[in-house]
Structure 1
């Protein structure tokens, strides 16, 4: 599928959804949601798929919950699939997240791990994730999380497989448990205009839990939203991922639009990014975003520009479900060294 077809599909989708009332009234809004998922990248080809979900609000004080499925297939014979649930229960006293799925990705890396070499690698993954959080005050939630992971990385020939094995990049199978905390003062969970969303947690991968590796991962993410003008929003985001005694397959990578996740890795990662979401019309927004990621082994490494990776891009957002402010977006992002991508996705990037 050519990139311009993604744009045509986006326009067709928004036109089809224009028949809903602009007031987003419940009488004219189905609980069922169907949205396309598309991406196009010179290194990974073009992928297309769909997300389908049932949307339900368990209490007036709770955000909308979603239960659904997704699947995606690409021109490189790669695919992903999964079932997911995101529920806000008991007047938002309980938050439950769940995902079961997997996939296969055939990646043609042009500069694998900064080596300057072109490498073809297949990532094969099956995983399950669950988290439960309980509200302990107005905006604070505490709970736990768990993950079951079976991840294999295979090269396109035996020589590459040997090299990946020497680098410790042949994947791993491991299970993890950890704690998680959230602070959430957003005025809307789908498309916030103001407020703060902070999450922090750990995952302890252990052989005693039935895995092949024992190591630790720590994550923290902070997002803040600033409403301005007549419906515009400035969104800011910072994220930190730390690992302890992880195999290279469990290292941190670049998680920004414009890059292929996994091509560049290091022990830890830190990123900052922001996005201006400009109010264009009642259901339309224009977006401009930029960010930088540092891949590091120690925090002093971020002073070296060779460890910094920048990206920027433009996008257009359409409010697919006005009542909940659920949004579909079409973004184009460019990174360094000719890295770029076109993405159609459900929900905000952060």
Structure 2
């Protein structure tokens, strides 16, 4: 298990909350007025989310990740809108906020294959978006599958433990560049089901701690952090794992990525994603990168190095509804392989979005993707990346 899965859970919880807060009590007409946009009169959650950001709110969550099955849970979230943000929003109701409110949350979820997750987190935007922060602690118990190189046979394993993370970025002057660092400490127990090979043998359990200190440089000119329509986010990151930072494994991993969004015309948009990750020898199997793309289960295509490219084309039916199609391809390559030896793994699909919170620029919808093995349905809150 790696930290990207935990951060994905945090993002899903946050964006799910922003979307699902709009679920109304249809018996109350006055309640429904809070979900009507004063600009176009259509269903919108902006006012409800922002004007009621006091106290914790219970939010349902839905999980559709093929690696762990279907499931759900709930989050208790608190939105922190600054006085400056509130004043700007009230003065300019037609304007989409470029700085999302900070969010503190408590999350719990479980899935059909017996996996579960619970934890607390805070996602903050401070000093007029000059400082960005994400931190928290999660307890997780995941039932997953591990595929050895060249094998179609899945090896079942369970991993459970505590995942603590701190992530902070500082804007460089008035630019779109951020310099940052993060720290992750993951103490876990991994147990492997040996019964397919050795019937009657008890599962093999391994206790370990994987910790890293990471340094990163990020460029972010996106027009919205929840569901960008234009701009680019790109970055490079190096993580140093070892006993000096509290772990049992000595290795390094590196990550470079580009996510670029463009408007081709008033109604047409295109988004491009490039991503590459590399891990040196010494990493535990669960920490190695995998092809992370719609249509592919987590850890299905995993190796020492991964590279992928994905493109998404969208069309706005009107100011609220958008349809889209996407396709991508990636490779998982071990250190003892050449790039050409690894096979390209392809995925494609389509979906739709609805602008559910105009003043936050938040869109929600559904994607259906087909990877090498199966069809998968994803409930999306914000951007897919």
Classify the TM-score, shorter chain: 0.7 to 0.9
Pairs within 5 Å for 1:58-137: 58=82, 59-60=84-85, 63-64=99-100, 65-107=102-144, 113-137=149-173
- Per-residue deviation at 1:247? 3.1
The answer to whether the Cα contact below 8 Å between 2:46 and 2:357 also exists between their aligned partners in 1 is no
Distance, in Å, in 2 between the alignment partners of 1:228 and 1:70 is: 38
Asked if residue 208 in structure 1 is aligned to residue 244 in structure 2, the reply is yes
Name the structure where strand makes up a greater proportion of residues: 1
Pairs within 5 Å for 1:330-349: 330-336=366-372, 338-349=373-384
Asked if residue 20 in structure 1 is aligned to residue 36 in structure 2, the reply is yes
Distance, in Å, in 2 between the alignment partners of 1:106 and 1:289 is: 29
- Per-residue deviation at 1:238? 0.8
Distance, in Å, in 2 between the alignment partners of 1:25 and 1:334 is: 31
Larger radius of gyration, structure 1 or 2? Answer: 2
Match of 2:80 in 1: 56
Distance, in Å, in 2 between the alignment partners of 1:132 and 1:44 is: 29
| Structure 1 SS opposite 2:293 | coil
- Per-residue deviation at 1:46? 1.7
Match of 1:4 in 2: none
Pairs within 5 Å for 1:1-350: 16=24, 19-21=35-37, 23=39, 27-30=47-50, 31-32=52-53, 34=59, 36-39=61-64, 41=66, 44-58=68-82, 59-60=84-85, 63-64=99-100, 65-107=102-144, 113-137=149-173, 138-157=175-194, 172-245=208-281, 246-297=283-334, 301-304=338-341, 306-336=342-372, 338-350=373-385
- CA offsets per residue over residues 19-58 of structure 1, 9 Å max, x none? 33164696554455746323163x6432223445333343
Distance, in Å, in 1 between the alignment partners of 2:346 and 2:365 is: 21
- Per-residue deviation at 1:298? 5.1
Task: Identify unmatched segments of 5+ residues in structure 2.
Answer: 1-18, 25-31, 86-96
Distance, in Å, in 2 between the alignment partners of 1:100 and 1:164 is: 27
The answer to whether the Cα contact below 8 Å between 1:22 and 1:322 also exists between their aligned partners in 2 is no
Task: Identify unmatched segments of 5+ residues in structure 1.
Answer: 1-10
- Per-residue deviation at 1:281? 3.0
**Aligned-residue RMSD, C-alpha:** 3.2
The answer to whether the Cα contact below 8 Å between 1:66 and 1:87 also exists between their aligned partners in 2 is yes
- Per-residue deviation at 1:88? 1.3
Question: For residues 196 and 346 of structure 1, do their structure 2 counterparts lie closer, same or farther at Cα, with a shift above 3 Å needed?
Answer: same
